[in-house]
Chains A and B, each alone.
Chain A
């Protein structure tokens, strides 16, 4: 095995060699089975790392956060619509509101608990720890048409598609972490929309659910607008 080339295999794998170096290494790989085998093993290592799944918090962390920032937790009610539906009988038609700290806390928990972030702290949870699927809920499909920034359903879909197209075209120019955050936040919003739609299917008259769905759809539109603006500026 050539020590010189073995030391460059990761750079080759990551596309960081210049054209001449890449060509020279590929010529070497054609005649060196050991280096070719090592390269394949390195590919497998990277694939394993990328396949690690995100983890959700083991418990609701809001109470601890609220205590540390001195915020009242008495209204830290339900941020989950399924839970809201289960409690609906008790709560009647009372409208739930979400404080900024609550929403921010939920976002933080969802954003930072990526596989690597948690893992970096060191692996302390056992094999039975709950995990989030790699992709979460499938993208939301509109089943009702609350007023969303003046759009009808078709207009809303077209606007969403156009903005997603702009972001996709500029993806290569965006910072890696930014792309990741955009994807994660879209996934969270789509999950919330899908959840609201499921709840609405069972309780179509709920004012709260209708307003919540409309607000979440507007949130997606606004988020995509901002992301597209940022993507446009980067390209």
Chain B
């Protein structure tokens, strides 16, 4: 089974188990989305997802094919995202892809908003090198 499918099931099962803890302090959708993010972050930790990680950003990014077009470009951008170090990668996805604010990311990841900002900038600067090739 694909990891994404499996974690989707995990999220529902967790929501099923935790729904009693929903106190209506936020919209149900917000609660559910947060729960989903927490499940996903926990899952990553559990699986020890450590693929080929960034050591030298320019060198790692440089291994990707140059000048991809159309759908290939989107896939290649995701490949570049995959080379980001864990912390920077998670903050980048939560902020720039999902639209969370630094304060929200800090709370979810147990870091300070300042760390979230610096990780985001780090990620963007690495990915900038990808676009600049």
Number of interface residues of B (CB under 8 A): 57
> With A and B bound together, what is the CA distance between A58 and B43 in angstroms?
19
Residue of A nearest to B73 (CB): A48
| Contact status B75-A10, CB under 8 Å | no
* Nearest CB of A to B31, in Å: 9
A108 within 8 A of B: yes
Measured between beta carbons, the chain B residues less than 8 angstroms from A53 are: 74
B131 within 8 A of A: yes
B20 within 8 A of A: no
Number of interface residues of A (CB under 8 A): 59
| Contact status A177-B104, CB under 8 Å | yes
| Contact status B132-A41, CB under 8 Å | yes
The proximity string for B residues 72-100 relative to A, scoring 1 for CB distances below 8 Å and 0 otherwise, is 10110111011000000010111011111
| Contact status A68-B13, CB under 8 Å | yes
Known: A57-B5, A121-B7. A182 touches B29 (CB 8 A): yes
Which of A10, A44, A122, A180 has the most chain B CB atoms closer than 10 A to its own CB? A122
When the two chains form the complex, which single residue of A44, A51, A111, A127 contacts B32, counting CB atoms closer than 8 Å?
A111
A178 within 8 A of B: yes
> With A and B bound together, what is the CA distance between A46 and B123 in angstroms?
11
Residue of B nearest to A48 (CB): B77
Known: A113-B8, A122-B44, A122-B82. A49 touches B92 (CB 8 A): yes
Known: A46-B96, A112-B36. A69 touches B104 (CB 8 A): no
* Nearest CB of B to A110, in Å: 10
A119 within 8 A of B: yes
Measured between beta carbons, the chain A residues less than 8 angstroms from B98 are: 114, 116-117, 177, 180
B55 within 8 A of A: no
| Contact status A181-B5, CB under 8 Å | no
| Contact status A45-B128, CB under 8 Å | yes
Secondary structure class of chain B's binding surface, majority of residues? helix
The proximity string for A residues 147-178 relative to B, scoring 1 for CB distances below 8 Å and 0 otherwise, is 00000000000000000000000000001111
Known: A116-B97, A121-B40, A176-B99. A111 touches B29 (CB 8 A): yes
A104 within 8 A of B: yes
When the two chains form the complex, which single residue of B4, B71, B100, B121 contacts A176, counting CB atoms closer than 8 Å?
B100
> With A and B bound together, what is the CA distance between A10 and B124 in angstroms?
8
| Contact status A109-B8, CB under 8 Å | yes
Known: A108-B15, A124-B3, A127-B71. A177 touches B97 (CB 8 A): no
Secondary structure class of chain A's binding surface, majority of residues? helix
| Contact status A120-B29, CB under 8 Å | no
* Nearest CB of B to A68, in Å: 5
Q: List which A26-56 residues lie within 8 A (CB) of chain B.
A: 38, 41-42, 44-46, 48-53, 55
Using CB atoms and an 8 Å cutoff, list the residues of chain B in contact with chain A: 1-5, 7-9, 11-13, 15-16, 26-27, 29-30, 32-34, 36-37, 40-41, 43-44, 49, 51, 71-72, 74-75, 77-79, 81-82, 90, 92-94, 96-101, 104, 117, 120-121, 124-125, 127-128, 131-132
What are 8 inter-chain pairs, A to B, with CB distance below 8 A? Answer: A38-B128, A59-B5, A61-B12, A113-B4, A116-B98, A121-B49, A125-B4, A178-B30
Given A46-B124, A111-B29, A181-B33, 14 additional A-B pairs, CB 8 A? A10-B117, A44-B128, A49-B96, A49-B97, A52-B74, A52-B77, A61-B9, A117-B40, A120-B37, A120-B44, A121-B40, A175-B26, A176-B99, A185-B29
